[in-house]
Amino acid sequence: MSSSTRVIDDSDNELLSLVIFDIDRFSEINNAYGRRNGDAVLAAIAESAQKNLRSYDVVARYGEAKFIFVLPGTPISGGVVVGERLRETVQALTFAPPLELLSVKVSLGIATYPSPELDSITSLFRQADYALCQTKQDRSNRMKIADDNSSLSA
């Protein structure tokens, strides 16, 4: 197994943070600028996301405008740092015309396995996604930690 390959399963006790993030108002971007320009926004965010990760971390698209970071060996505090860095990086993105006035923001949910509230990798996904949903209901452009009553933003 190469140094950039890691295997984690439900029996592992190694920390694993999961950040799920969603592009705020992405459907409005597609409607206003068209799918081709929406795809350019997705590509820019995916590229920015990948640049913020270690070689063995994973970023993947997880829906129309949702992405995930899988961060092995990362406590919740490290996941928060990665998530905030992404949020700030996305907010600073600039685009060529006709998107030059576009300001893109993301909302994030984060959870870490193992924890008292999580008994499996499946519950890790469920809790991170729930935290994201709470963030989107409260206000966009924030990060919420699963089972934490606070939202984080700049």
Q: Any idea where the domains of the chain sit in the sequence?
A: 16-152
How confident is the model at residue 45, as a pLDDT? 95
Quote the pLDDT of residue 116.
Answer: 84
Q: What is the mean pLDDT of residues 133-139?
A: 87
Q: Could you report the per-residue pLDDT of 44-96, keeping only the tens digit for each?
A: 999 999 998 999 999 999 989 999 999 999 999 999 999 999 999 999 999 99
For the segment(s) 16-152, the CATH number from 2.60.40.1120, 3.50.50.60, 3.30.70.270, 3.40.50.2300 is 3.30.70.270
pTM listed for this prediction: 0.85
pLDDT tens for 8-45 read: 454 556 899 999 999 999 999 999 999 999 999 999 99
SS (H, E, C) 73-112: CCCHHHHHHHHHHHHHHHHCCCCCCCCCCCCCCEEEEEEE
